[in-house]
């Protein structure tokens, strides 16, 4: 919308409109990023007569089939001059344009870019006389593109002349085939199967939707155990333990699936700073819903394990990456203490 000459902006006619600060702020917010005024690349420019007519026509009912008719009439009456009418393209430009068209056509893109071959629009090769040599070259290029998968079969065969006898042969064979009850049954079955598969897919997606809507099932799905790849920080801890000759288990099947478990009861978690909501690396006020849920879940797991007599050690990603020595020291302290307790128990 543009303020036209002679049209006062809204509010002006009513004796001036005073905008409250609130409204001004809202207006400015709405305009942000919309390239208004000299921000706009069209600022200070004018539409040509032709495009003005086109715009006006296109506004009057969207898909107006009369537009081209009206334009044609205007062109023929000399009231409208096409922007490129009378312009002479240099040989160089013509050559370049033709090359581009040829390339696009061979790649099967020409149609996509320019829409269908419309009436009055001539394909790049219309009226062109090809020498035998260039015809052979073209056919070879098409073949190559077809083999490389750049040309779809339908485009490859498009326009290829098939002898009448060949077409007749294909037609007859298909009729013969269809007479064969086995072939017919197979084809019908294949079609039915395909339709059934589609139906099943639809049904499945419906049932899965219903499943997710059920809070109990959703909870179960959310907590299902998914086998996962060890993260880099987990691998780092594993390597350090291996160096010390300490045996461990990965992702032991107990509450919370500790990343590392050391007999008899040490559970070690390597928490990624982002996903587990590290307040040292990230702003706690900007945590997402997912992070908040994870924090609560971690607390729940820690508490649950401790209540069952496990020792829980949680390390942040930044601790493992920046100070692996302190991390290992804490693990070792625990390990020795627990090992001594186990020995004592065995003696008693």
Binding site for Zn ion (CB under 5 A): 273, 278, 280-281, 316, 318
With beta carbons less than 8 A apart as the criterion, state whether 255 and 304 touch: yes
Rounded Cα–Cα distance for residues 58 and 248 (Å): 72
Q: How far is the CB of 322 from Zn ion (least distance, A)?
A: 9
Of 240, 237, 234, 311, which Cα lies nearest the Cα of 276?
Answer: 234
> Is residue 140 helix, strand or coil?
helix
Q: List, as one string, the DSSP characters of 143-212.
A: HHHHHTTSS-HHHHHTT----HHHHHHHHHHHHHHHHSHHHHHHHHHHHHHHHHHHHHHHHHHHHHHHHH
> What residue has token string 């302190």?
326
Bridge partners (DSSP) listed for residue 267: 261, 312
| Identity of the residue, 262 or 278, whose beta carbon is nearer to Zn ion in the bound complex | 278
| Identity of the residue, 208 or 322, whose beta carbon is nearer to Zn ion in the bound complex | 322
Q: How far is the CB of 330 from Zn ion (least distance, A)?
A: 16
**Dmax over Cα atoms in the chain, in whole Å?**
113
| Identity of the residue, 281 or 342, whose beta carbon is nearer to Zn ion in the bound complex | 281
Of 120, 119, 118, 125, which Cα lies nearest the Cα of 99?
Answer: 125
With beta carbons less than 8 A apart as the criterion, state whether 261 and 249 touch: yes
| Identity of the residue, 256 or 277, whose beta carbon is nearer to Zn ion in the bound complex | 277
| Identity of the residue, 106 or 259, whose beta carbon is nearer to Zn ion in the bound complex | 259
Rounded Cα–Cα distance for residues 298 and 312 (Å): 11
With beta carbons less than 8 A apart as the criterion, state whether 259 and 237 touch: yes
Of 235, 348, 242, 258, which Cα lies nearest the Cα of 305?
Answer: 258
Q: How far is the CB of 318 from Zn ion (least distance, A)?
A: 4
CA 39 to chain centre: 31
Kindly tell me the burial class for residue 145, based on how many C-beta atoms sit within 10 Å of its own C-beta (0-12, 13-18, 19 or more): middle
Q: How far is the CB of 281 from Zn ion (least distance, A)?
A: 3
Q: How far is the CB of 231 from Zn ion (least distance, A)?
A: 14
Q: How far is the CB of 315 from Zn ion (least distance, A)?
A: 10
| Identity of the residue, 270 or 305, whose beta carbon is nearer to Zn ion in the bound complex | 270
Q: How far is the CB of 317 from Zn ion (least distance, A)?
A: 6
Q: How far is the CB of 113 from Zn ion (least distance, A)?
A: 50
| Identity of the residue, 262 or 317, whose beta carbon is nearer to Zn ion in the bound complex | 317
> Is residue 14 helix, strand or coil?
coil
| Identity of the residue, 166 or 284, whose beta carbon is nearer to Zn ion in the bound complex | 284
| Identity of the residue, 283 or 289, whose beta carbon is nearer to Zn ion in the bound complex | 283
Q: How far is the CB of 324 from Zn ion (least distance, A)?
A: 14
């Amino acid at each position: 919308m543009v303020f036209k000459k002679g049209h006062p902006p809204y509010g002006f006619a009513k004796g001036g409109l005073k905008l409250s600060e609130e409204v001004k702020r809202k207006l400015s917010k709405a305009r942000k990023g919309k390239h208004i005024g000299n921000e706009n690349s069209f600022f200070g420019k004018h539409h040509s007569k032709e495009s003005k007519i086109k715009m006006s026509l296109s506004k009057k009912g969207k898909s107006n089939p009369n537009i081209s008719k009206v334009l044609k009439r205007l062109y023929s009456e000399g009231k409208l001059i096409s922007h490129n009418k009378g312009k002479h393209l240099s040989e160089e430009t013509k050559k370049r344009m033709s090359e581009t068209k040829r390339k696009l056509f061979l790649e099967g893109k020409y149609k996509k870019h320019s829409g269908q071959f419309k009436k009055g629009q001539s394909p790049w090769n219309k009226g062109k006389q090809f020498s035998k040599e260039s015809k052979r070259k073209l056919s070879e290029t098409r073949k190559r593109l077809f083999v490389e998968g750049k040309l779809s079969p339908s485009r490859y065969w498009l326009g290829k002349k098939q002898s009448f006898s060949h077409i007749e042969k294909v037609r007859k064979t298909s009729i013969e085939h269809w007479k064969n009850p086995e072939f017919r049954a197979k084809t019908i079955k294949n079609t039915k199967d395909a339709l059934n598969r589609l139906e099943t897919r639809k049904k499945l997606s419906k049932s899965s939707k219903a499943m997710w809507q059920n809070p109990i099932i959703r909870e179960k799905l959310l907590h299902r155990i998914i086998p996962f790849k060890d993260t880099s920080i987990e691998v780092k801890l594993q390597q350090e333990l291996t160096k010390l000759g300490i045996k461990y288990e990965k992702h032991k099947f107990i509450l919370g699936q500790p990343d590392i478990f050391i007999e008899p009861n040490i559970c070690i978690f390597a928490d990624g700073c982002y996903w587990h909501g590290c307040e040292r690396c990230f702003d706690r006020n900007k945590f997402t819903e997912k992070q908040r849920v994870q924090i609560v879940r971690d607390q729940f797991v820690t508490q649950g394990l401790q209540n069952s007599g496990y020792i829980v050690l949680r390390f942040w990603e930044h601790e493992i990456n920046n100070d692996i020595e302190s991390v290992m020291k804490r693990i070792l302290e625990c390990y020795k203490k627990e090992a001594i307790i186990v020995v004592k128990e065995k003696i008693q």
